[in-house]
Amino acid sequence: MAVIALAGLPGAPGVTTTGLALLQSWPLEGDRRTLLAECDPDGGAVLAGALQSSLRADIGLQNLAVSRRGEQPLPQAFWTQLVRLGDDNGAASERHVLLPGLPDPSLAAALKPEWPALADLFVGIDRMPNHPHDVLIDLGRSGIYGPTRVLAQRADLVLLVMRGTLRGLHAAKSRIPMVHAALEEGHGGPSPSLGILLITEGSYGKREVESELETRVIATLPYRPEEAAVLSDGAPEPRKFAKSALMKAAREACPPLRQLVLMRRSRLTSPMQQRLSEVRRAR
């Protein structure tokens, strides 16, 4: 299981587009499913973008607000707000699912009490009676700060999506310390791993970005506006879109992301396992 939060920077390409590319490329082993949760406090984009308003607009994150929880507890209400996305053949897939984001940013205030419970749900989703899920969380450009930061704090990995331009580098350099502070502020647990997902536009490549920012570039995606428009705006899908440069790179990005999550979880569980062994020996 993995919980990965994606956040943007000023001048960065769409975090939602990146999330959708990873969602559709994520390896599905056994009965696992992959969920993309649009938790950007500035509002969701998939319903009006990639899905071109083909689904009703009153489904998703807005229905998990505290004012509506009287009828159904959050864990049960959560499953009723998911929608299935198309697979490589365009058919609705049970294994690629979306929690649509807010249709109006003004609704974010009503969700303030729910963010910690939603973070708990994402972290514990494998223990729920439904099929196990890997979770991708779209935090947009502002969700890594403020009340929604708890979603990033509880994740295994936080990815900053940026372009390899001077503007992108400057924005990242000034904000990475702020991101570290947000991930640690008021959070007693272990901080998530922090890395960069680099969009290969501009003159700064992986080595230059890592050197300047002292932060690991975990994966790269090519800058392909026409291909990205399929995911961001529901543009007509070209033939063999699944084999396009963007989607091929997204598939190649998934293994290192998963490996980093596994390594972090191994580090966190090892001391616990050692303490359990010591308790058993003491008995």
CB 117 within 8 A of CB 150: no
Mean of pLDDT values over 43-49 = 79
Mean pLDDT for the chain?
A: 86
- pLDDT tens-digit readout, 159-203: 999 999 999 999 999 999 999 999 998 888 888 999 999 999 999
Query: In CATH, what number is assigned to the domain containing residue 95?
Result: 3.40.50.300
CA–CA distance, 219 with 231 (Å, rounded to integer) = 19
Contacts of 17 (CB under 8 A, 6+ apart): 228, 231, 232
Rg (CA), the chain: 19
Average pLDDT in the 119-141 region? 87
Domain with 160 in it: 3-282
How many folded domains does the chain comprise? 1
Q: What is the pTM of this model?
A: 0.89
